[in-house]
Amino acid sequence: MIELDGVSRTFTVRHRERGRLRRRAQVVEAVRDLSFRVEAGEFVGYLGPNGAGKSTTIKMLIGILTPTAGRIRVAGLDPSRRRTALARRIGVVFGQRTTLWWDLPLKDSFELSRLLYKVDREQYRRRLDELSERLDLGGLLSTPVRQLSLGQRMRGDIAAALLHDPDVLVLDEPTIGLDVVSKAAVRAFLRGLNAERGTTVLLTTHDLGDIERLCRRVMLIDHGRLGFDGTVDELRATVPGEASIEDVVARIYLGSAPAPSLEPPNYPQ
């Protein structure tokens, strides 16, 4: 369902040095020579320290960023060339930012999504009923998005990403900032979605609880390369003894040499 073959992405960052007018260009490799496959129906956690290349990978998978080298296929399509066609086949949730329309009531946002994704009206109604029941959105549908709490908004975002019944759901830090109850609700929903509908799920997270409770497979990226790829138990077994998953992951993160800045460049705010 998702295939990466030797994918790299570099960014050119310009530094202004003191006392010099010319800026020095530095090439930063956010992702280097990355290859993996995710089969249909898998539930994969994508882990890595800040700046390891997680978001860059996700943005290449959904067609926002064009890779510098290598080949990507998602649902059989090249994401950067067939971005809009791919958008109908995948759902995307950003934990840090909403894809809903801020000033519109939740149900108007959903209706607008329906029209943009060209989802059949009858199919949409059934899907919306099911999603609002499972995500407990019933009482929120006429509330403008800006008035929703973070947990409510996240559930709304997940529903919006699934209205067109995508084959793949990609989530970038979906549980960031959520309280324990909201987190549990999101996790339970995602598990059900994967088990019952067979939707392929790929999520990035810093919350190892997400990994332990949800993901059958873990991929760990560091310095733009895949450092580990296997089940949660295999990950734990890399460190002998009674180590917790936190310890194991911390050891892998720290074990690597100190990272040069691998963040994609930040534009001045």
Partner 1 sequence: MLTDLRTWLLLVRAWLRAAAQYPASFALLMTGSFLVSGLDVAAILVIFSHVRELGGFTLPEVMFVYGTAGVSFALANLFAGNADNLGAYIRSGDFDVMLIRPVSAFVQLGADRFSPQKVGRLAQAAVVLAIALPQLGIPWSRAWMIPLMILCGFVIFTAIWAITGALQFLLVDAPEVSAAFTFGGGQLTQYPLSVYGADLVRGVTFIVPLAFVSWQPALYVLGREDPLGLPYALRFAAPAAALILSLLAALAWRAGLRRYRSTGS
Q: Where do contacts with partner 1 occur on this chain (CB under 8 A)?
A: 11, 55, 59, 62-66, 80, 83-85, 87-88, 92, 94, 96-99, 101, 103-104, 108, 112, 115-118, 263-269
Q: How far apart are CA 34 and CA 15, in angstroms?
A: 27
Q: How far apart are CA 202 and CA 168, in angstroms?
A: 8
Q: How far apart are CA 85 and CA 72, in angstroms?
A: 15
Query: What is the nearest approach in angstroms of partner 1 to the Cβ of residue 86?
Result: 8
Query: What is the nearest approach in angstroms of partner 1 to the Cβ of residue 127?
Result: 16
CB-wise, 19 or 268, nearer to partner 1?
268
CB-wise, 12 or 242, nearer to partner 1?
12
Q: At what angle do helices 121-134 and 106-117 cross, to 10 degrees?
A: 140
Q: How far apart are CA 234 and CA 82, in angstroms?
A: 36
Q: How far apart are CA 154 and CA 190, in angstroms?
A: 12
What are the Cα distances from residue 218, in Å, to 183, 202, 226?
19, 10, 11
Query: What is the nearest approach in angstroms of partner 1 to the Cβ of residue 103?
Result: 4
Query: What is the nearest approach in angstroms of partner 1 to the Cβ of residue 160?
Result: 10
Closest by Cα among 165, 193, 192 to 90: 165
CB-wise, 87 or 203, nearer to partner 1?
87
Query: What is the nearest approach in angstroms of partner 1 to the Cβ of residue 266?
Result: 5
Q: Judge whether 249 and 208 are in contact, CB under 8 Å.
A: yes
CB-wise, 103 or 136, nearer to partner 1?
103
Query: What is the nearest approach in angstroms of partner 1 to the Cβ of residue 77?
Result: 12
CB-wise, 14 or 126, nearer to partner 1?
14
Q: Judge whether 88 and 26 are in contact, CB under 8 Å.
A: no
Closest by Cα among 240, 241, 183 to 212: 183
CB-wise, 9 or 236, nearer to partner 1?
9
